[in-house]
A = this chain, B = another copy of it.
Amino acid sequence: MKPVASSPGISRRVLLATLALLPAVSGTILPVPAPAQTATSSAVLPSWSDGATKRAILDFVRATVDRTSPSYVVPEERIAVFDQDGTLWVEHPMYTQVVYSLDRVPIVAAKNPKLGNREPFKKGLSGHREAIARLPMRELEKVFDATMTGMTVEEFNAEVRNWLETARHPRWNRPYTELAYQPMLELLRYLRDNAYKTYIVTGSGQDFTRVYAEKVYGISPEQVIGTADEIKYGYARDGKPFLTREPKLMLKDYGAGKPEGIHFMIGRRPYAAFGNSTGDRQMLEWTGAGAGARLKMLVLHDDAAREYAYGPAAGLPDTRVGTFTPALYDEAKKNGWTVISMKNDWKRIFTFD
């Protein structure tokens, strides 16, 4: 559950307006525009502005799908991996899964009153979410364990499904499942139309994400890789078998855990990888170290008006995980990763826009 160690309550609240800096900056990062052989018509990826970023996507797909291309990739090897929080949907002011876990605290405490008298649950019940979001990881994990383990996998799925129906994001007052980025939904579909298998590779919970991934992203449960708890097989009194979620981490799908999880779950190196933070660094490095054409992209949150602005211009210390740090920005520049400017590259942010 390391992803949440980034303490969204601290770093993510720093919504610095990087807008002013952005145009100058992206000019140095974006690759030299390829000859305009590709029709960047609005029929494909309609929510993406014409320009170098969109062209990088179209060029990559053409290079790997066209049989006459030297970078042609056979369909069975076409793997594209996507971080979720901040890459496919909104991660501010807190990761959706952290919101879920905090919302579960009073429900769990009602069943187990002793729990409510102990920290960190006492804080969780007090309604001071910023305080709990600032807790060290070890304390936060207690909250995750108390709220997301100890039940059967079916019970967990039902609890998440119920929550998703009623929970609303504080800024848009809409279900979290409506806060996926429209341009990324188009990109997922475009890649799948070109025989790419699209995977989510998230620091958030694997089973949590699986509940809505098919509906929101068109991604089936077996193509969701995430931080995962151990699962235990057992029998009910009537002999019926069941699976229980255990308070023990099996896969920490964050940072180095992302390429490790990709190898474990897929067994192939991806050809395209999309992220937005230091937690995605190794996944993009691993993707980029493969031969042939590889697409590596980072979403830059530079649109305070339509979404949020945070990132490389903020001058945050490099040690902070879960953010688009200046060091990550330098690595992107050095390695030729494409930075997606939400402000400049996306015509629309949400489906409801």
Contacts and interface: CB of A to CB of B under 8 A. Distances in A.
A260 B233 contact: yes
Contacts of A285: 241
A197 B256 CA distance: 30
A233 B282 contact: yes
A163 interface: no
A243 interface: yes
Given A241-B286, A260-B243, A289-B241, A267 B210 contact: yes
Contacts of A256: 232-233
A289 B221 contact: no
Interface string A265-278: 11110000000000
A241 B270 CA distance: 14
Interface string A209-253: 010001000001110100010111100000011010000001000
Contact of A243 (B220, B250, B263): B263
Contacts of A282: 233, 241
B224 A267 contact: yes
A263 B197 CA distance: 20
A333 to B, nearest CB: 15
Contact of A232 (B210, B240, B260): B260
A223 to B, nearest CB: 8
A193 interface: no
A188 B250 CA distance: 30
The contact size tier of chain A is: 20 to 34
A183 interface: no
B267 A76 contact: no
A85 interface: no
A277 to B, nearest CB: 17
A221 B269 CA distance: 11
A264 B222 contact: no
Given A256-B233, A260-B232, A220 B286 contact: no
Contacts of A286: 233, 241, 243
A191 interface: no
A72 to B, nearest CB: 18
Given A241-B286, A285-B241, A267 B221 contact: yes
B222 A267 contact: yes
8 contacts: A206-B264, A221-B267, A222-B266, A232-B256, A233-B282, A243-B260, A243-B286, A250-B264
Interface of A: 76, 153, 197, 206-207, 210, 214, 220-222, 224, 228, 230-233, 240-241, 243, 250, 256-257, 259-260, 263-268, 282, 285-286, 289
User: 5 closest pairs, A vs B, by CB?
Assistant: A221-B267, A233-B256, A222-B266, A231-B260, A210-B267
